[in-house]
Structure formats: C-alpha cells, structure tokens
Amino acid sequence: CPGFESWWAQLEPVNDEEHLYFSEGGTGRQEMPRDGTEGGNETLVATRFTEDFVRGHRNGPWFACFWPHAPHGPHYPLDRHAGTHEGDTPPTPYGEPGRDLSDKAPFVRNLARRSAGAEDEARQDYRGNLREVEEVDDGINRLINALAETDQLGHTWVFFITDNGLQHGEHFLEKKLWPYEESTRTPFVVRGPGVRAGTTNGHLVSQVDLLPTICEIAGADASGVDGRSILPILRDPDAPFREFLLIEAEGRGWHSVRMRKRNQAGADHDDLLFVKWRDGFEEIYDYQDDPHQHNGHFNTPREQRYAGMLRERLLKMREASGDRYRALETG
C-alpha cells in the first residue's frame, strides 16, 4: 500500500463461510473463525484497527480509509443481529415500478427474475443487508466516538460514501451494477469544519470527487484528474458545479450520462438520464415526469429534445479525461 504507514486488509476468499482471512500491515496471512462474535467479524475487526490508529494519531495530521466489505452477500451477521429485521421488506414492491419491461434493454429483460421464489430471495437478501448495516453503524459510531474522545472531531473531515447501491426486486432485478436509481444513487455524507449539519443540495457528485476534495483540504495539487472538489458547493449550495455526470459499468455493458441542468425558466431543473447498452439499445428517463424510471421510451418533449445532445455528450465523455472531461460536464 504505497503511501500508507499501516493497513488492515481482508484477503481472499473474502466470502469464506468458516474463516475470516486478513493481513495486518503486510505481516502475513492470519485467520479467525467466523463464529458470530466481534473477533470473527471483518467489519468490527477493521473497526478496531482503525480506532487504534485514530486514537494513536491525535496530534495529526493524518488520513485514514475505513472500507467495510459489508453489507455484502453471503451474509455473516453478528449473533446479536442474526434475528433482527425479520419483518422488514424492501420499500418498493417486487417488480415495481412498472411490471412491463418492454422499455428496458434485452439484457435486462433476459435477467429479470419473475420466478415464484425470486421475491422471497430478494426479501431475504434485503434483511441480510440490514443486519450487516447494523455492524457498519456500530463501526462508524465507534470511530466518531474515538474522534470526540481525543478532541479531534471538531477539525476532522469525515466522508461517508459507498461504491454502489443494490436492487432488491425493482424492475425484477437484484444486486448491483444496473443503470437505475437503486444501484447508482448512493449516500454521500460529509461532516467537517464549517459544514452546517442537516443541509443537503441537489448537485451531481461522484466518488471521483473525493480525490480533488481531499487534496484541496490538504493543500495538495490535484490538477488533471477527472473529479472536482466539492468544497465550493459545501460552502455555497448555489455555487455552479457540473451539469453532466458519466456513470458506467463496462463489464455489464452499459454507459450513461445523467443531466441536471437549470432550464430556461430558471426556476427548476431539466433532470434526465440517458443509457446506451453495448448492443445499441437506448433508454432515457425524465425524472420530472418519471422519477422511478418506469418508462424508458423517448416519450416526453424533454426526452425528445435532449436525446441527441445526450447521445453525443455520452460518446465524448467516454473518450475524454482530465481537463477535457471536466469541460464536458458543464455547458
């Protein structure tokens, strides 16, 4: 891990049913039994390692990443969480919004799960994820408490993000890597000096913005990267940012561009998603008229007006990087 003075890393096979394998600072392969206790739970073992680091660096400055594997199937929750969330169900009924998938790409229609047991499997997966999120919550609480108890919380930046969302039966789909809201719209929460608690804004942000943001905080140069610092919109939610965001999953065979652009009236935003699949199939969603991505046909006036521009913008953004890429995010 170049640049890191210490680390804890989970090792393959990460989904082993009986043991947790890990390396601490590259000192060799270690293992613990997955026995339902904190000592065999990767989230809380990583928490303990990170907490020790935080408490040991109270004089700073420092940078740390805490990246829990959870929630992730197969699920191995702590014993104290194993029986929780039994009655919980996904917020969207299975197959909704819209049970007609004619507007979706053939790849989606082919993988849509309509079997009798699919809905129950989606519910069980949802409950397993909630149980493991309890452990993530435990870990975050411990780290925040460690910062507070060492008088670091007031001057420490905390970014809470994730790499993907999950489908739990929406559009008859499960798991990750789909171009729909449940898969791509993920938490991005910031706590730091001068950030007012409870505020939100509707700008398009991405994980690629983390690097330039952290570099600006540290006074380091991040020119030439694809992302952009979010500090300006944390200070002023009305500050200009990006209007177009590239979202893609090359392995799954789709690329998309999300547009959130103030319309000519200036009172609202034109908010659309354009998706192009490897086989050439295209979908477009107008979030003002279709917030749940029910109909991907080119039906609304806004969809028809913007389709050509979004198609061209997507092609250019896929081929660009750095300054050229950021220029394509605006205007």
**Upper half-sphere CA count for residue 259 (Cβ side, 13 Å):** 30
- CA quadruple 104, 108, 111, 112: dihedral positive or negative? negative
User: What tokens does 73 get?
Assistant: 């199937």
What is the C-alpha separation between 245 and 275, in angstroms, rounded?
12
What is the predicted pLDDT for the residue at 60? Answer: 84
User: What tokens does 258 get?
Assistant: 């999300």
What is the C-alpha separation between 190 and 72, in angstroms, rounded?
23
pLDDT tens for 12-42 read: 999 999 999 999 988 899 999 999 999 999 9
Residues of the chain above pLDDT 90, percent: 84
What is the predicted pLDDT for the residue at 298? Answer: 92
Q: Are 72 and 135 in contact (CB under 8 A)?
A: no
pLDDT tens for 293-317 read: 999 999 888 899 999 999 999 999 9
Task: Give the list of residues 6+ apart from residue 328 with CB closer than 8 angstroms, or none.
Answer: 244, 313, 316, 317, 320
pTM: 0.92
Burial class (CB in 10 A: 0-12, 13-18, 19+), 185: exposed
Q: Are 67 and 160 in contact (CB under 8 A)?
A: no
User: What tokens does 214 get?
Assistant: 């952290």
pLDDT tens for 254-286 read: 999 999 987 655 556 789 999 999 999 999 999
145-170: average pLDDT: 96
Query: To which residue do tokens 């992730």 refer?
Result: 72
What is the predicted pLDDT for the residue at 300? Answer: 86
- Name the pLDDT band for 2 (thresholds 50, 70, 90): confident
Give CA separation, 56 vs 53, 126, 159, 281, 312, in Å: 5, 37, 20, 54, 51
Domains belonging to the chain, first-starting first, are 1-199 (3.40.720.10)
What is the predicted pLDDT for the residue at 116? Answer: 78
- The whole-chain average pLDDT of the chain stands at 93
188-210: average pLDDT: 94
